[in-house]
Chains A and B, each alone.
Chain A
Amino acid sequence: MKRPGPLLTLLAGLLLGLFMLTLNVTTGTRTASSSYQERSPSPSAPSRTAATATATASPSSPSPSLSLPPSPAPSKISDASYAGRTDDDSSSVAVSVRDGRAIAYFCDGHSKESWLKGRVNPDGSMRLTGGHGAVLNGTVEDDRRVRGAVDLDGGHYSFTARRAVKGTGLYRATATVRGAKVDGGWIVLADGRQVGIVDRDGTPSAAPRIDPETGAVTVDGQQLTASPVVP
């Protein structure tokens, strides 16, 4: 009367899930990644995946944020990037933390932007300062997000920035294009939205989109590569 099939199906799924979880936990990234490709159903998927992997590995290999083990740094705040929006949804804020120092970028995508730098206290609080009196006061909460506020040009912008995964976060590209000093900053959010400003000799304007995988971007006809920002 009882059919074993459905139970076996559930059991197989459970075992597969536990197996993959164990791979994740014990052997780290390499094995888990290859086991993904083995499970790829379409015969062409694994090879294409592998090709993409090798293609993206080189430009993005200095992964700035998450893959670093919690090194015995003086600060207990782990190295990570955070990205999010201001509470009024007018601007984006990204914070990159490494070795107890932080660099942050505030950007509204049109004209208002600021790079801010400073130290991160062991309790996660930070006070970063930028040009023209810009100040960011914030706190790293549970290594999951940074909450705080930016004071810039007389405005007060509360924000929440969540921990960024690879392909998101804070990017910067600087170059000289036809004699003009170009300084671009981008914040790539987890949903794929981008906010960026390109500064040409001090004149800000909206930035073209970057490819979050490679950082490639074309500014005034010149191919540039935006890199993940670390303090």
Chain B
Amino acid sequence: MSADPNAATQSWPSPEPHHGRPHPARCLVPVLVAAAVAVGLGVYGRLHQPTGTAFDLAGFSSTRAVKSWLASTAFFFALVQLVSALMVYGRLPGPRWAPALHRWSGRIAFLVAVPVAVHCLYALGYQTYETRVLWHSILGCFFFGAFSAKMLLLRSERLPGWLLPLVGGLVFAVLTLVWLTSAFWFFRTFGVTT
């Protein structure tokens, strides 16, 4: 899992992975923030009375389609994330701007996912009435926590080399599951519609 030492040491956030053991407290703040974000979203979704029809004018079904497309866009950029990360770590041949590609595709994926999450939490809430919905609720909250942790870890120096790929891979895996339990399900159930 450790980074290729020849790869992108100039521009990548964990350039010096093996300079002694990092203090555990270095990871404490990201972990705490991640937990607070995930739990906070879940509690809000549970306590807030779901409005059901936040976007009544556009018709709820088409709003679900809009959400599915937004989520699919986020998932597409998440795939770009995976490929560009492999480039950054030298596992795939990539251009010099692979780090910039990684940063900006991640930003776009995140910002596209935010409106979807707002609608989910505001209009639908944290629900448990069915396995798919339960997992989607849990993982949706977890995703934003994990993403916050990833962002904060990027600011830490002297992390173990395997940590960022691990957290990044976790974020990617969770987003994939969130997408599978929502947009993919929607397209399978109702067809690929707008």
Contacts and interface: CB of A to CB of B under 8 A. Distances in A.
Interface of A: 1-3, 5-7, 9-10, 12-13, 16-17, 20-21, 24, 29-30, 32-33, 35-37, 39-42, 45, 48-53, 56-57, 60, 63, 65-67, 84, 143-144, 162-167, 190-192, 212-213
Given A6-B154, A66-B52, A190-B129, A42 B69 contact: yes
A163 B106 CA distance: 36
Contact of A165 (B53, B106, B108, B148): B53
Contacts of A84: 129
Interface of B: 13, 49-66, 69-70, 73, 103, 106-108, 110-112, 114-115, 117-119, 122-124, 129-130, 132-133, 148, 150-152, 154-155, 157, 189-190, 193-194
A10 B59 contact: no
Task: Choose among B132, B154, B193 the residue with the greatest number of A CB atoms under 10 Å from its CB.
Answer: B154
Task: Choose among A9, A39, A57, A162 the residue with the greatest number of B CB atoms under 10 Å from its CB.
Answer: A9
Given A1-B157, A45-B69, A24 B62 contact: no
B4 to A, nearest CB: 21
Contacts of B55: 29, 32-33, 36
A39 B119 CA distance: 13
A3 B61 CA distance: 41
Task: Choose among A36, A49, A67, A167 the residue with the greatest number of B CB atoms under 10 Å from its CB.
Answer: A36
Contact of B115 (A36, A49, A56, A212): A36
B59 A56 contact: yes
Contact of A17 (B53, B114, B133): B114
A24 B53 contact: no
Nearest to A30: B57
A53 B58 contact: yes
Give the secondary structure class of A's interface: helix
A41 B118 contact: no
A35 B70 CA distance: 13
A192 B117 CA distance: 21
Task: Choose among B51, B106, B108, B193 the residue with the greatest number of A CB atoms under 10 Å from its CB.
Answer: B51
Contact of A42 (B49, B62, B73, B150): B73
Contacts of B50: 163
B70 A52 contact: no
A22 to B, nearest CB: 10
Contacts of A192: 189-190
Contacts of B130: 190-191
Given A9-B106, A20-B118, A21-B118, A166 B111 contact: no
B132 A191 contact: yes
B58 A33 contact: yes
A164 B150 CA distance: 37
12 contacts: A6-B150, A6-B151, A13-B110, A17-B114, A21-B118, A21-B122, A29-B53, A33-B57, A41-B112, A144-B49, A167-B61, A192-B189
